[in-house]
Amino acid sequence: MTDIVRLERDKQLALVTLDDGKANAFSHALIDQLNARLDGIEADAGVRALVLTGRDGRFSAGFDLSVMGAGPAAMKALVQAGAELALRLYEFPKPVVIACSGHALAMGGILLFTADWRTGTEGNFKIGLNEVQIGMTMPQFGAELGRDRLSPRYFSRAVLNAEIFAPSVAVDAGYLDEVVDELSLLDFACVQAERLAALDTRAFATTKRRTRAATVRLIRDGLAADLAGLTGA
């Protein structure tokens, strides 16, 4: 299998890069490889924080449309895998920093809601949830993660109206926490990861789990109905 999720180690930080050579679409292969990397990071006591990034100009354009268009069963399986991945990152016991390297749309935008810090790059990039724009219903798991992380002023604009934002506006909306120049992206993201890595590990994990438990429970309790409503399967 082609390695599309790379892992590098820098002292107490794990740097994970998504690069399928194209749009970084969330396919089963990408999700499986990312989960395998997360398994190793979670088990490694020497890793205290994770930095997740994409290829230059692309964080992710969302789910693999070739799978999404292959019928209800295929669509359901992929969306479920994506939902489980999003919840895993949202609950991940170690700090998660996303270095958003460019466009982040649909599932790519949803993944921004799962991180503890989001550093974006300046440029002519699109960030947002375009599901309604392209004729897809927003998955409830994505809406609820957005409800937790988006500014209330932007929630309807982002989720219902499918408004897409430039990186600078994405900070105000709640997709990102800061925007820096492209050459400094990983440097700034790693500074934030080091800051979070210095926190007490147990206290961080417990507080994260407690403060996000209500959203996780709401998503998990409704996931079967969410998937059935999306796909009819």
Query: Distance between CA atoms of 84 and 78, rounded to whole angstroms?
Result: 10
The pLDDT value recorded for residue 116 is 98
Asked if residue 114 belongs to a domain, the reply is yes
d(CA 158, CA 178): 18
pLDDT, residue 230, reads 83
Establish if 36 belongs to a structural domain.
yes
Read off the tokens for 110: 């949803």
pTM assigned to the model:
0.96
Provide the percentage of residues in the chain whose pLDDT is more than 70: 99
The reply to whether 192 falls in a domain is no
Domain membership flag for residue 119: yes
pLDDT digits (tens, 9 = 90+) for 151-163: 999 999 999 999 9
Number of domains in the chain: 1
Confidence of residue 28 (pLDDT cuts 50, 70, 90): very high
pLDDT at position 233: 59
Q: What is the pLDDT of residue 69?
A: 87
Mean pLDDT across the chain: 96
pLDDT mean over 120-146: 96
Instruction: Kindly state whether residue 105 falls inside one of the protein's structural domains.
Output: yes
CATH code of residue 113: 3.90.226.10
Range name among 33-37, 132-136, 175-179 with the lowest pLDDT average: 132-136
| pLDDT tens digits for range 193-233 | 999 999 999 999 999 999 999 999 999 999 999 999 887 65
In a domain, 197, yes or no: no
Residues 155, 55: Cα–Cα separation, whole Å: 28
Q: Is residue 201 part of a domain?
A: no
- Per the structure, the complete domain to which residue 166 belongs is given by 5-183
Residue 213 belongs to a domain:
no
Q: Which tens digit of pLDDT belongs to each residue from 53-97?
A: 999 999 999 999 999 989 999 999 999 999 999 999 999 999 999
